[in-house]
Structure 1
Amino acid sequence: MKNIDKQQKRKKTPLIKINITKKAEKQIIFLLKKSKKNIGVQIKIKKTGCAGFKYVLAMAKKIDSSECVLTEKKIKFFIPVQWTSIINNTTIDFLAIGLNSSFTFQNQNHISTCGCGESFNI
């Protein structure tokens, strides 16, 4: 996997892949440029919702030693090692419908999702 950072290889963390649509890439770059302190995007999984889990994206300002670093389309993603197998092969998209906009996640590792699409089960 050519997109794995040298730092990730040194840590011997799992090799993973994230797919990003052009719309998601554009929105993430827009958000990263809002502050010079932003160095990338943290992707976490939080226990919540009716199906059990949901994705949480946040702008990263520093690297946590317990996260692996993945660069995809010139965007650095910081992912806690315990979630790498679940996040592997996730496709991130960005949808804007009327006044509402959000990132969406498609992942074959999900067993089920809730009716509103906010959470998933693994």
Structure 2
Amino acid sequence: MTTAASDIALTEQAARRIHAILANESPGAVFRVSVEGGGCSGFQYHFAVESAPGAEDALLEHAGARVAIDPASIGFLAGAKIDFVDDLMGQSFRIDNPNAVASCGCGTSFAV
């Protein structure tokens, strides 16, 4: 089964925050979400702003937010929901990932 950007949900809160971040960037900029090896559970999420998506990236667009996901990461994110939380613990992007079988206490790394 092939995972597409449409298999990943972006909450309104996340879309608003990403749109605000990209408003200060050059036209065509994207917010990159990727999965990298590391962290205390084996994999970790990485967030970055890039000037443009890569040729092979999947693009998720919602409410002015443009999210790029590379081909190596998209399979790890199938069915995931990207959210932005602003609470007493701070502000952060959080990913609710149904593929994760374990995660660390801080929620930034996971195992599959």
Flag whether TM exceeds 0.5 (same fold).
Answer: yes
The gaps in structure 1 that reach 5 residues or longer are 1-12
Match of 1:111 in 2: 101
How many Å apart are 1:84 and its aligned residue? 1.5
Q: 1:14 to 1:93 in 2, by over 3 A?
A: closer
Query: Aligned partner of 2:87: which letter?
Result: I
Asked if structure 1 preserves the Cα contact closer than 8 Å seen for 2:15 and 2:64, the reply is no
Query: Aligned partner of 1:48: which letter?
Result: G
Match of 1:68 in 2: 58
1:1-122 to structure 2, matched below 5 A, reads 14-16=3-5, 17-37=7-27, 39-98=29-88, 100-122=90-112
Query: Aligned partner of 1:18: which letter?
Result: I
How many Å apart are 1:74 and its aligned residue? 4.0
Asked if structure 2 preserves the Cα contact closer than 8 Å seen for 1:19 and 1:92, the reply is yes
- Structure 1 stretches of 4+ moved >6 Å: none
Q: 1:56 to 1:36 in 2, by over 3 A?
A: same
SS at match of 1:63: coil
Instruction: Report which stretch shifted further, 102-111 or 38-47.
Output: 38-47
How many Å apart are 1:96 and its aligned residue? 1.4
Asked if structure 2 preserves the Cα contact closer than 8 Å seen for 1:41 and 1:59, the reply is yes
Asked if structure 2 preserves the Cα contact closer than 8 Å seen for 1:38 and 1:59, the reply is no
TM-score of the aligned structures, taking structure 1 as reference length: 0.77
- Select the structure of larger CA radius of gyration: 1
The gaps in structure 2 that reach 5 residues or longer are none
SS at match of 1:84: helix
How many Å apart are 1:108 and its aligned residue? 0.5
Asked if structure 2 preserves the Cα contact closer than 8 Å seen for 1:18 and 1:72, the reply is no
TM-score of the aligned structures, taking structure 2 as reference length: 0.83
Number of equivalences:
110
Q: Report the aligned-residue RMSD.
A: 2.0
SS at match of 1:49: coil
